């Protein structure tokens, strides 16, 4: 028994030692006269979307490593960029806690969040504290509609995406009776609503609108209800973790429909989860295909060599960081209040596109590309929108 106090003392000492080590990196940098700039990254690192969250974190990290290697100077000081990555679990409640934590850690800017449902509530906290936020992937219209001066995104929003998807479903795929399922998240619901608007405008009829959740695995009851309405196309507003298994269940129920998703479905993970039911599935992704991006091919090669195949948003995260740094350089300051006006008016040639923001913080002239699964891969069909 007498060993216990000794053990806990030892443990406490170890903990102290480690926390001291953790600090020393930035302390050293500060001591040698470098300016430390903290960039926060928020994405789900656990749960069903962990593969996407990790992808975002890696994209952000690569941009930060590159910036550090370049030896950028701001305000006459050499800058050391530091990544502070947080897990928001794709959960809106957790996202606000994480946002407050990042604010308390005095980050100079935020790359995130990944989901629209988490980005929207977190945006208020960043706005209240005047910290610029660039979401690489939140596409819900509501995000930039809140009127926050600090909120930006480097991807076309769901109004643009829903427009393209709805019109394509009716005009190109000849869908007449359309069923819609969404996962009741800010993203899924928003995209489904935009899709419905566009599909109806193009002359399609919505015969069913059913719902599921972003944690479900069983869609047979919902799909059976949909089947009763005899649709010829099914649109799912949601992410790959549900969309993939849903594709399998569509096939198992012999539901004879064309199946379509938004950007949330456009991942290698979707093809893995859907198995042979993935063949012929449609999805959209804002922006042009990776190999058509100005710096897409080189980025992809470097990224794959360093981490793993790109899931989805890594190139957008890379651009988001670089846009932020470019604004800091232009303002010659990493102070949020100083570089924010520069960010709002920036024009930057990124690897995904030329990045300029409109008054709301949305990407100017965003494009959307449609894809289909062919031979186990997402193949681009056509790109819509001016670029």
Interface contacts to another protein, rule CB under 8 A: 45-48, 50-51, 184, 209-213, 215-218, 220-222, 224-225, 227-228, 241, 244-245, 248-249, 252-254, 269, 272-273, 275-276
Which secondary-structure segment (H or E) carries 209?
strand 205-211
**Residue 166 Cβ, how far from another protein at the closest point, in Å?**
21
CB of 256 to another protein, least distance (A): 11
210, 212, 208: which is closest to 178 by C-alpha?
Answer: 208
* 1 or 254: CB nearest another protein: 254
Nearer to another protein, 47 or 380 (CB): 47
Question: Minimum distance from CB of 178 to another protein (Å)?
Answer: 16
Whole-number minimum distance, CB 52 to another protein, in Å? 10
- At residue 81, the 3 state secondary structure works out as strand
d(CA 81, CA 220): 48
| Cβ distance to another protein smaller for residue 252 or 337 | 252
Q: 217-249: buried (b, 16+ CB within 10 Å) or exposed (e) per residue? A: eebeebbeebbeeebbbbbbbbbbbbbbbbbbb
For another protein, which is the closer residue by CB, 197 or 338? Answer: 197
How many other CB atoms are found less than 10 A from the CB of residue 104? Answer: 9
| Residue in 264, 321, 315 with CA at minimum distance from that of residue 133 | 321
**Closest CB to another protein among residues 247, 288:** 247
For another protein, the closer of residues 83 and 181 by Cβ is 181
State the nearest-atom distance from the C-beta of 4 to another protein, in Å. 19
On the 0-12 / 13-18 / 19+ scale of CB atoms within 10 A, 1 is exposed
Q: Which is nearer to another protein, 51 or 61 (CB)?
A: 51
> Taking the complex as a whole, how short is the minimal distance between the CB of residue 341 and another protein, in angstroms?
39
Q: Between residues 12 and 252, which has the closer beta carbon with respect to another protein?
A: 252
Could you tell me which residues come within 8 angstroms of residue 97 by beta carbon, excluding any fewer than 6 positions away? none
With contact defined as beta carbons under 8 Å apart, do 52 and 58 qualify? no
> Residue 268 CB, nearest distance to another protein (Å)?
11
Question: Which CA distances in Å does 105 have to 68, 86, 244, 246, 339?
Answer: 20, 11, 38, 40, 19
Could you give the dihedral angle defined by the CA atoms of residues 43, 45, 46 and 47, in that order, rounded to the nearest 10 degrees? 50
Per residue in 30-61, is it b (16+ CB within 10 Å) or e — as a string?
eeeeebbbbbbbbbbbeebbbbbbbbbbbbbb
Give me the least distance between CB of 97 and another protein, in Å please: 19
- Closest C-alpha among 313, 346, 382 to residue 152: 346
* CA 35/CA 239 separation, integer angstroms: 39
Closest separation in Å from C-beta 47 to another protein: 7
Q: Which is nearer to another protein, 59 or 244 (CB)?
A: 244
Alpha-carbon distance of 91 to 120, in angstroms, equals 11
């Amino acid at each position: 028994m007498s060993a216990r106090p000794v053990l806990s003392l030892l443990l406490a000492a170890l903990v102290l030692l480690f926390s001291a080590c953790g600090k020393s990196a930035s302390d050293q940098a500060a001591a040698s006269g470098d300016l430390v700039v903290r960039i926060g990254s928020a994405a789900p690192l656990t749960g069903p979307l962990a593969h996407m969250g990790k992808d975002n974190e890696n994209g952000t990290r690569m941009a930060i490593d590159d910036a550090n290697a370049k030896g950028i100077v701001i305000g006459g000081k050499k800058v050391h960029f530091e990544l502070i990555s947080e897990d928001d679990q794709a959960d809106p409640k957790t996202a606000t806690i994480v946002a407050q934590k990042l604010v308390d850690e005095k980050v100079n800017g935020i790359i995130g969040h990944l989901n629209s449902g988490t980005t929207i509530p977190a945006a208020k906290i960043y706005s209240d504290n005047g910290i610029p936020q660039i979401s690489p992937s939140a596409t819900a219209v509501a995000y930039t509609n809140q009127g926050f001066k600090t909120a930006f995104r480097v991807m076309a929003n769901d109004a643009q995406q829903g427009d393209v998807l709805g019109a394509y479903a009716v005009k190109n795929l000849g869908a007449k009776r359309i069923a819609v399922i969404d996962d009741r998240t800010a993203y899924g619901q928003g995209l489904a609503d935009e899709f419905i608007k566009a599909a109806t405008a193009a002359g399609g009829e919505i015969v069913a609108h059913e719902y599921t959740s972003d944690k479900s695995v069983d869609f047979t009851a919902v799909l059976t209800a949909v089947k009763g309405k005899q649709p010829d196309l099914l649109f799912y507003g949601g992410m790959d973790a549900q969309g993939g298994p849903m594709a399998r269940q569509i096939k198992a129920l012999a539901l004879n429909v064309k199946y379509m998703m938004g950007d949330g479905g456009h991942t290698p993970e979707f093809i893995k989860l859907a198995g042979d039911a993935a063949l012929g599935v449609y999805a959209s992704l804002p922006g042009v295909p990776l190999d058509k991006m100005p710096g897409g091919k080189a980025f992809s090669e470097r990224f794959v060599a360093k981490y793993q195949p790109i899931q989805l948003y890594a190139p957008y995260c890379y651009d988001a960081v670089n846009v932020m740094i470019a604004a800091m350089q232009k303002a010659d300051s990493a102070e949020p209040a100083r570089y924010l006006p520069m960010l709002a008016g920036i024009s930057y040639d990124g690897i995904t596109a030329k990045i300029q923001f409109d008054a709301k913080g949305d990407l100017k002239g965003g494009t959307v590309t449609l894809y289909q699964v062919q031979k186990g891969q997402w193949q681009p069909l056509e790109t819509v929108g001016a670029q």
